[in-house]
Chains A and B, each alone.
Chain A
């Protein structure tokens, strides 16, 4: 089959690789119909995630049809149209049973990297480096899905492929960001980053009762989409001082909830010196992640407010304003998405018209154009929100 493989920093190639096979009794093989790029893929392509190996197939957000199933798969059948949650759970360990499947004890077959770096290992993730299990990703014609009964969800009738595919990753990530922040009626929520995840966080915050949601970005098309599609007020951080603007908009209190939908490659165009400092430290390895958004959230958030972090961080950060966080009594919530907990609820929101993520798919391309597509996505060219590959043509 064809697959989009990572071969080194900024070196993506479309290659012929063997088809995947059933290995374990709870596996299924999915024929991929749609597979989306994701902002967190850029950290892999840029070489910030250290355990990538040449030949790794990337991609973790996908929809397709089950073409083979292992003998122990109970709830799914050949021919089912499914999405698969990008973060793999086993369905049985304590974490999976308590709705924290991204912390699964069993789905990462390669736990030593994470245990060494983090103390404990988290779940396996499709196409997301060997620290997260080394699973082959979905930018391919076929993909093996382990523990399929737990990770794959049948798409309900009446929900199109274009709406459903994002329930794999972007929608539950955004929804979880809003959900774990404990939004209460009347809350003002600020969301840093208006990519796919940020926009889904904005919509979810409203669904969960936020009074106002403020989206922060610097790309005009994203700010426009956040305004038009999910009803955010918007701020362009390259033009205004975010702290001042947020205080002005909230009567000097600051937002009740601040959501980070950016992660480790944040830039702070509003503060060139800080950005240069972070980039320099990152370049010589004295920190792995750029914390510009985190610093801004801690400063801007109201006293006693909540920071909810779904942007991906990999390692260490420097100049973390712990004093501000502690003295302001902030609560931090964070984590990779637990999509298994949300998939049914999200399909319900899509079915009754509360949520329509299909507009995120600004480009639909064959897999052969993978390398160029990622370039366009990274440069945010052509108003690209998300490229979705159709590997079957």
Chain B
């Protein structure tokens, strides 16, 4: 097991180096730069732009810039944002809480609701409920998150006035109830697609399990149905969901990016979009590395958990 984990860790580190090199190159080779924003609106001449470019070290050859950045990153110095001069780690951490709040809530909704719908769909295969769940999931997966967010705002905020039309909290309030009130709509929107995915995975996983011989044997032995479902079927059906959970992070982050924009949620997704727009290289690289680490950790944890519950994996 130790060797297995060590192997996976070594692979993860290699991947991180590759991601950083490719990300850095793509970001810097893309046309434009962090000073483009001043070219039209502000009174900065080309000479001013050149001077600031030199001061930021952006006139150096790309490999030198990369090695410099990589060296400092290994020492824990992820650089400073070009936009506000804050340390990158500080910028990321100031947005992380909001995103985690949204993602965790959406995941809880998705796991509970998605697993329940998937399980029930599998048990009542081809029933009206199953058909509705299938159609619903297809619709949810097809709806653009942005559009769904705007419709949610229109219905629940503008028309009914039940929910705020965005923001994480009322400025000057910030009580638990106020936070919860603001969280409902974005979490619902972000959770919808996740719920659809979890329900589909759960349905197929459950179907596979309940058609196994040992379930038939359990039934033949007269074991109560609830016990068969909870003790035998559900536990085994949930096994592949560990992987689903581990690999859901990038999808969830992508969804958060959109939901955060629509609901003016001050999270990482919006920070990433803004930073790309401003070509804030240090922050974009910071978020890229942070996300890559999170994805790798998610995948690693899923692999390890899988290996823990299914020893055959370790052998393989």
Q: Do A and B come from one complex?
A: no
Q: Which residues on A are within 8 Å of B, measured CB to CB?
A: none
Interface residues of B (CB under 8 A from A): none
